[in-house]
Structure 1
């Protein structure tokens, strides 16, 4: 009973924080709520986008007969491993759609200086995220979860040009996505997992949370 109540309170706090972050970005309440619902539902949907193949040495055994006795002899054989790379709707596509909306909006408003600063912030955030990300075999790309939002907050303050919230969200989201996932694409096939999902943890994924936390902190 207490555990259920605790989970309800945590979910209410989390959903409220996400909605506040979306509204601070300029999304109307109805749109913010819709995007949050899409993110929750989309957490369970992974769309395959690529397949990677790698060849790895595998130890196998064969039996050799010697004077009527069978002896196991180990040997190496190159074995093909296939990996499906997919993208999660809730953890990646929803935040990407918000980023795209914000970039189109400032471009239509003619705020090209802000657009340039945002692009520069994304580049810096991606390079930093890539520097601290580490491929972990059997797990995926690991990165300290606090790095993307903190970097995004600093970039929002430095390059915000009157709109630090937008710069923080875009650089936090794209910085985590590009730096940790896309820039490590060539290493994914060596992780030893049958499938890797970009944004696979849904609303609790680093790509989704980086932008939200950055907006709340800026």
Structure 2
């Protein structure tokens, strides 16, 4: 009997749903996120077309630059390596475990799509708030939100040796959105809450989860490379900003 190659496409309903989601996810991403960001930027004085253009560029650049990591520094470190040696006792070799230390290094980098682009948008929000008629209140709310998210993201993050810094996905954006809405309502700048929630989540997650942990627990990472925002559009910095903005828009 001749051998035949049979190609059987996946037919499980959930697998087909997953394939369909993967196929249309970029289109959904490009449709909803720019509209949400443009809507959030409208109270800051940006026109709809300008805000939408900036939002589309942000999404496209974040996707395109997600694989790009810019090296900031290279830090030398000692690595413990287990090693076996044999000791001869009465002519019989016995293995003994020893630990030797070798010099290695950890590369510290920043991801363009996952950290630099969201931070650039956050700086734009700060600049627009500075010239806004309610800029003083808006900046005050932003400082409070960013500080709160910094503390919460730092306390909720943990170090996973060999992997990096892990932080719960929903805690920073939820804290940012709720605090932005609460403080904005108290100071009478509710329309600015979505944009403040975005910037506060990005800045707070960057400082609390990444920068503070790198400063305090660098030796615990035990990784050849540490990239701030290294997961690109799936990184906590990027997603925290987007989720916080959506939550603030929905809740307001």
Fold shared by both chains (TM-score > 0.5): yes
Matches of 1:59 and 1:45 in 2, distance apart? Answer: 34
Shift of 1:78: 2.8
Q: Partner of 2:225 in structure 1?
A: 195
Question: In the alignment, which of 127, 131, 139 is matched to residue 151 of structure 2?
Answer: 127
Q: Partner of 1:90 in structure 2?
A: 113
Deviates more, 1:124-133 or 1:13-22: 13-22
Q: Partner of 1:39 in structure 2?
A: 62
SS of corresponding position for 1:25: helix
Distance 1:167 1:116, change over 3 A: same
Deviates more, 1:51-60 or 1:103-112: 51-60
Question: In the alignment, which of 103, 106, 116 is matched to residue 140 of structure 2?
Answer: 116
Shift of 1:14: 2.3
Q: Partner of 2:198 in structure 1?
A: 169
Matches of 1:145 and 1:6 in 2, distance apart? Answer: 20
Matches of 1:190 and 1:54 in 2, distance apart? Answer: 11
Deviations 1:89-137 (A, max 9, x none): 0000000000001101111235122112211210111001101100011
Structure 2 stretches lacking a partner, 5+ long: 1-8, 10-15, 42-49
Distance 1:91 1:204, change over 3 A: same
Deviates more, 1:106-115 or 1:135-144: 106-115
Deviations 1:21-40 (A, max 9, x none): 32123252222111211111
Q: Partner of 1:178 in structure 2?
A: 207
Matches of 1:6 and 1:114 in 2, distance apart? Answer: 38
Greater Rg by CA: 2
2:143 matches 1:143: no
Q: Partner of 2:31 in structure 1?
A: 16
Q: Partner of 1:60 in structure 2?
A: 83
Deviations 1:122-154 (A, max 9, x none): 011100110110001111111110101100111
Matches of 2:30 and 2:109 in 1, distance apart? Answer: 25
Matches of 1:188 and 1:166 in 2, distance apart? Answer: 32
Deviations 1:158-207 (A, max 9, x none): 12233111221111111111110011013233222111111111111110
Question: In the alignment, which of 198, 223, 239 is matched to residue 209 of structure 1?
Answer: 239
Greater relative contact order, per chain length (Cα 8 Å cut-off, separation 6+) = 1
Deviates more, 1:61-70 or 1:45-54: 61-70
CA contact (8 A) 1:155 1:167 kept: no
CA contact (8 A) 1:156 1:166 kept: no
Deviates more, 1:109-118 or 1:138-147: 109-118
Aligned length: 218
Q: Give runs of ≥4 in structure 1 deviating > 6 Å.
A: none
